[in-house]
Amino acid sequence: MSERIVLAYSGGLDTSVAIGWIAEETGREVVAVAVDVGQGGEDLEVIRKRALDCGAVEAAVADARDEYAEQYCLPALRANALYMDRYPLVSALSRPLIVKHLADAARAHGASTVAHGCTGKGNDQVRFEVGVGALAPDLDVIAPVRDFAWTREKAIAWAEERALPIDVNKRSPYSIDQNVWGRAVETGFLEDIWNGPIEDVYAYTANPAEPREADEVVVGFSAGVPVTIDGQKVSVLQAVEQLNERAGAQGVGRLDMVEDRLVGIKSREVYEAPGAIALITAHQELENVTLEREQARFKRQVEQRWSELVYDGLWYSPLRRSLDAFVDSTQEHVTGEIRMTLHGGRAVPTGRRSAESLYDFNLATYDEGDLFDQSLAKGFVQLWGLPSKIAARRDQQ
């Protein structure tokens, strides 16, 4: 058996062409690895057979949907992870899981090299290669599209010359990446940042401007983990899937943003993440009820750094693990239910209840039964403002 290369295989044009190209250029056998993270579309068995028909000596497929939801999406939810306060890390979360399966496959098949289909402009090249370096530093990495300046035209010509079993004529005007946590769309007319997205960009969400009845949903959490939808027990994957459907039907989770890529350029991205946005909204609201003030303030700083690390391909970094430990410690009391109205593209909390609540009605009320001793406030205000008052006296002299 010749030395092998493990290829992250999506079933599309670039990675299908890469199988034969790598084999011809390196003289090595190619093992294709496809990972299901809830991206939908074609059946994995169809993708596995296509890889073999394109020249792979073996093709492995993994149903990693529950693994992805529980070990990657859930930590992001508990961290309320939103890059640039908006993007719920749709693609960034799936890459370290795919890298893990690539490294495992390389060990299983005796490969010394892994390959991916990323370009040199995007963030994913970093996520794949830094991840491989963290999990299996002895493995080499090649990226045919980036390293050998492939264009789509070259890939189509290659496929036609060798009669590969893929449709090389059908071309979406967009570049799309999707999984159960959301969907990312770029390129085409979206590259002109003045152009507004049109409805055919979207697949996970309905037009929020269309009239429809609102949907009320109650999400239950236990220690920061979504465990019920409207009182019915769910797994993490089921919670995301159900809210993808229900929040998506209300147009929740559409994002159109210009973001800062790791490679130093700005890019325009359109995202759909109905389940992710609805769950993060509910989780944040429950934390508002159950986290102590200073803990909550510091956690917001941690959330931003956590999101940046994952976006930047540092899932396997020591700092991300340390931040996870802090986030986990904050979730002990994040138990209860949040009621939300899904309508018009928004998920709006309308009710909260928790046995772990720090909200005390008798302290908060302005009506009869108020237990808050307002006589203490005068001295508190004076002491709180004393440093500013002393500085102001100095500045006025």
| Active-site residue flag, 124 | yes
Q: 93: domain CATH number? A: 3.40.50.620
**pLDDT for the residue numbered 3:** 86
Residue 320 in any domain: the answer is no
Residue 195 in any domain: the answer is yes
**pLDDT for the residue numbered 369:** 81
166 and 186 housed in the same domain: no
Residue 23 in any domain: the answer is yes
pLDDT in tens, 124-139: 999 999 999 999 999 9
pLDDT in tens, 301-349: 999 999 999 999 999 999 999 999 999 999 999 999 999 999 999 999 9
53 and 150 housed in the same domain: yes
- For the residues 294-304, what does the mean pLDDT come to? 98
* Residue tagged active-site, from 175, 235, 317, 357: 175
* Residue tagged active-site, from 28, 48, 94, 124: 124
Q: Over the Cα atoms of the chain, what is R_g?
A: 25
Domain of residue 101, residue span: 4-171
Last residue of a domain, which of 104, 137, 171?
Answer: 171
| Active-site residue flag, 175 | yes
Residue 304 in any domain: the answer is no
Report which of residues 10 and 281 the model is more confident about.
281
**d(C-alpha 185, C-alpha 162), whole Å:** 30
pTM exceeds 0.85 for this model:
yes
Residue 69 in any domain: the answer is yes
Q: Reply yes or no on whether the pLDDT at 151 is more than 90.
A: no
Q: Reply yes or no on whether the pLDDT at 246 is more than 70.
A: yes
Q: Is 12 annotated as a binding residue?
A: yes
Residue 340 in any domain: the answer is yes
Running DSSP on this structure, what letter comes out for residue 299?
H
**pLDDT for the residue numbered 168:** 57
**d(C-alpha 331, C-alpha 215), whole Å:** 28
* Residue tagged active-site, from 4, 95, 254, 346: 95
Q: Whose structure tokens read 């359109």? A: 270
- For the residues 281-302, what does the mean pLDDT come to? 98
141 and 238 housed in the same domain: no
Q: How far is CA 243 from CA 275, 343, 359, in A?
A: 4, 13, 27
Q: Reply yes or no on whether the pLDDT at 169 is more than 60.
A: no
Q: Is 10 annotated as a binding residue?
A: yes
Report which of residues 122 and 87 the model is more confident about.
87
- For the residues 52-63, what does the mean pLDDT come to? 93
Given a contact cutoff of 8 angstroms between Cβ atoms, the answer to whether 184 and 255 are in contact is no
Residue 74 in any domain: the answer is yes
Q: Is 16 annotated as a binding residue?
A: yes
Q: Reply yes or no on whether the pLDDT at 196 is more than 80.
A: yes
> What is the total count of domains within the chain?
3
Residue 156 in any domain: the answer is yes
161 and 204 housed in the same domain: no
191 and 122 housed in the same domain: no
30 and 105 housed in the same domain: yes
**pLDDT for the residue numbered 120:** 87
pLDDT above 70 covers a percentage of the chain that reads: 98
Q: Is 9 annotated as a binding residue?
A: yes
**pLDDT for the residue numbered 5:** 95
Q: What is the crossing angle of helices 318-330 and 293-311, to 10°? A: 150
